[in-house]
Amino acid sequence: MSTWQFVAWLVNSSDFPSLLTVMESFHYHFFEGEMIVNLTVTLTRVLISFTIAMILGVVIGILMGISKRLNQLSDTLLIIVLNIPALVTILLCYIWFGLVESAAIMAVVINKVPTVVVMIREGARVVDEDLLNVAKVYKLSWSKTFFSVFLPQLYPYIMASARAGLSLIWKIVLVVELLGRSDGVGFALNTLFQFFDIAGILAYTFAFISIVLVIENIIFRPLDTLIARGIHHDRT
Amino acid sequence: MIELDIAIKNKCYANSPSVVLKEVEFNVEPGEFVAIIGPSGSGKTTLLNMLSGLEDSTAQTILCNGKPINGFKEVQLGYIFQQPRLMPWLTVQENIQLVLTNPEDIKIKQLLAQVGLAGKENYYPKQLSGGMQKRVAIARAFAVNPELILLDEPFNSLDAPTATKLRQLLVELCKIRKSTVILVTHDLSEAICLADRIIFMSDSPSSLIHQCNVDLPKPRVESGCDELAWQAKLIQQYPNILSGSLISISDCSTA
């Protein structure tokens, strides 16, 4: 931080604002501007698209992982969708469905689902058959086998795709907002860009990073601990 | 109690044309403890997997109390695998609860005390030694009140004192529950120590080549004079058993 402050003082340009200027801008946008509204809107979009993408990705990933036939049928499609640029999907969704909320969410979901599918499919392929055989021998019900034996083996893969997914969704949502929405952080950043307000852009970035760190600490780390239970213990 | 009549012919591995069990035919009396001995790759585990429903047995004859079975859907089964196969994300208690339809904490605690794991209910498998994990696997198998117990070389990766203790534990539990037991092993002393009858299988594609009753009083100890004499005789006769030239069971009986 002190290096930043020092370099900003050295450069002395509005293109490289000091930390103090960025904090002042943050204070302004947070208390007097529309930062809270924009953050709330963007967070809601992220949450909705993240949830839909994860549910769809996990279900499709499991099905492709356990069914060779389905995997063979869908593998090419998956690779195609995986490699379509995010921008193309966003533009097509806006053109086909209009500049509406559902098109924005759909564009984000289409971009995210394939990456979740790939990760979960790999997890489902390496599920321990021996443990599933235990469930079979002891005649566990379908739901008990799935939720107590099969799914826990996928938790590390779900966590990895959730972490990677959240960072990707943040970025895509901003592009979606920048291109076709009239609110949200992406829209705000676009406006700030029009005025070359670098301090404002950095203030929003700071808010963004803070939220990501909060999510990491209150959601992902406790989930990590829960998932790792029984796996990283030393022998007593 | 469960009585079994088994007749398996030309059983192939899944997804392979090669025959693993050529001709295996034997019966198991209610409450009997049968040990099956054979070389590695002779299809002993395949046989147990067929009995447990893990391998397809539709083309074979496996009768349970005179009725054809389909993966023992109606019979309560306990299976102790070569590895404990405990769910690493579940505690000891949860691993046992998992296989029960109506889990009762008191019953689980009693069972854990029986296998010498009192107070370890909330431990995860990784926090336990190999022997302790095997104990949990034994407790899990007995938790379901099994009518038939299948054991697939359950003590082969353990040190001798631990294996001896667990064998004693197994004998005690079997005595209390009066279950029918099939043990697969390649350890002759283990078979003599535990079984009422020993069945010998040939190399793959395997057939049943010999069987003999172990006429020794229980409880037996591996280092007992009679047990060692039996073992010595069987080892001496083993080439004859494998070649099929041993005619009578009494050939390997002790005085």
Mean pLDDT of chain B: 83
Residues of B in contact with A230 (CB under 8 A): 88-91, 124-126
Question: pLDDT band for position B1 (50/70/90)?
Answer: confident
User: Please, which residues have CB within 8 angstroms of residue A33's CB and are 6 or more apart in sequence?
Assistant: none
Which carries the bigger pLDDT value, residue B65 or residue B243?
B65
The pLDDT, as a whole number, for residue A151 is 94
d(CA B128, CA A49): 42
Closest among B247, B141, B233 to B189, alpha carbons compared: B233
Does residue B4 register a pLDDT over 80? yes
Question: What ipTM does the predicted assembly reach?
Answer: 0.84
Residue B75 contacts residue B3 (beta carbons within 8 Å): no
Number of domains in chain B: 1
Q: Does A32 touch chain B (CB under 8 A)?
A: no
Does residue B253 register a pLDDT over 50? no
Alpha-carbon distance A146 to nearest alpha carbon in chain B (angstroms): 12
Of B83, B124, B128, the CB nearest to A229: B124
What average pLDDT does range A3-30 have in this prediction? 84
Closest among B15, B71, B46, B97 to A149, alpha carbons compared: B97
Q: Does B103 touch chain A (CB under 8 A)?
A: no
d(CA A117, CA A54): 9
The pLDDT, as a whole number, for residue A202 is 93
Please give the share of chain A, as a percent, with pLDDT higher than 90.
67
Q: Does A229 touch chain B (CB under 8 A)?
A: yes
Sheet holding B148-152, edge to edge: B67-68, B61-64, B4-12, B19-28, B206-213, B197-201, B33-37, B180-185, B148-152, B77-80
Three-state DSSP class for residue A125:
helix
Question: pLDDT band for position B220 (50/70/90)?
Answer: confident
In the chain, the amino acid numbered A188 is A
Does residue B214 register a pLDDT over 90? no
Residue A85 contacts residue A110 (beta carbons within 8 Å): no
Does residue A235 register a pLDDT over 70? no
Does residue B203 register a pLDDT over 50? yes
Listed ranges B146-150, B220-224, B236-240; the one with the highest mean pLDDT: B146-150
Q: Which residue of A has its CA nearest to B96?
A: A138
Which carries the bigger pLDDT value, residue B244 or residue B92?
B92
pLDDT in tens, B107-158: 889 889 988 888 999 999 999 998 899 999 999 998 988 889 999 998 887 7
pLDDT in tens, A49-84: 999 999 999 999 999 999 999 999 999 999 999 999
Does residue B238 register a pLDDT over 80? no
Question: pLDDT band for position B251 (50/70/90)?
Answer: very low
Closest among B91, B17, B16, B6 to B44, alpha carbons compared: B6
Does residue A106 register a pLDDT over 60? yes
The pLDDT, as a whole number, for residue A116 is 95
Q: Does B218 touch chain A (CB under 8 A)?
A: no
Three-state DSSP class for residue B61:
strand
Q: Which residue of B has its CA nearest to A138?
A: B99
Question: pLDDT band for position A147 (50/70/90)?
Answer: very high
Question: pLDDT band for position B189 (50/70/90)?
Answer: confident
Q: Is residue B10 part of a domain?
A: yes
- Which residues, listed in sequence order, are joined to residue B25 by a DSSP beta bridge? B7
User: Per the structure block, which two tokens stand in for B102?
Assistant: 């109506």
Does residue A14 register a pLDDT over 60? yes
Residue A130 contacts residue A74 (beta carbons within 8 Å): no
Does residue B5 register a pLDDT over 50? yes
**The Cα angle at residue A40 between residues A39 and A42, in degrees rounded to 5:** 65
Does residue B240 register a pLDDT over 80? no
What average pLDDT does range B103-108 have in this prediction? 82
Question: pLDDT band for position B175 (50/70/90)?
Answer: confident
For A:127-156, CB contacts with B below 8 A are: 130-131, 133-134, 136-140, 144, 148-149, 152, 155
Q: Is residue B203 part of a domain?
A: no
The CATH number covering residue B134 comes to 3.40.50.300
Q: Is residue B200 part of a domain?
A: no
Measured from the Cβ of residue B94, the count of other Cβ atoms closer than 10 Å reads: 18
The pLDDT, as a whole number, for residue A18 is 85
The pLDDT, as a whole number, for residue B160 is 81
Structural domain containing residue B181: 4-195+210-252
Does residue B205 register a pLDDT over 50? yes
Q: Is residue B171 part of a domain?
A: yes
Domain A28-227: assigned CATH number = 1.10.3720.10
- The answer to whether the CB atoms of B89 and A233 lie below 8 A apart is no
Residue B33 contacts residue B194 (beta carbons within 8 Å): yes
What average pLDDT does range B7-16 have in this prediction? 79
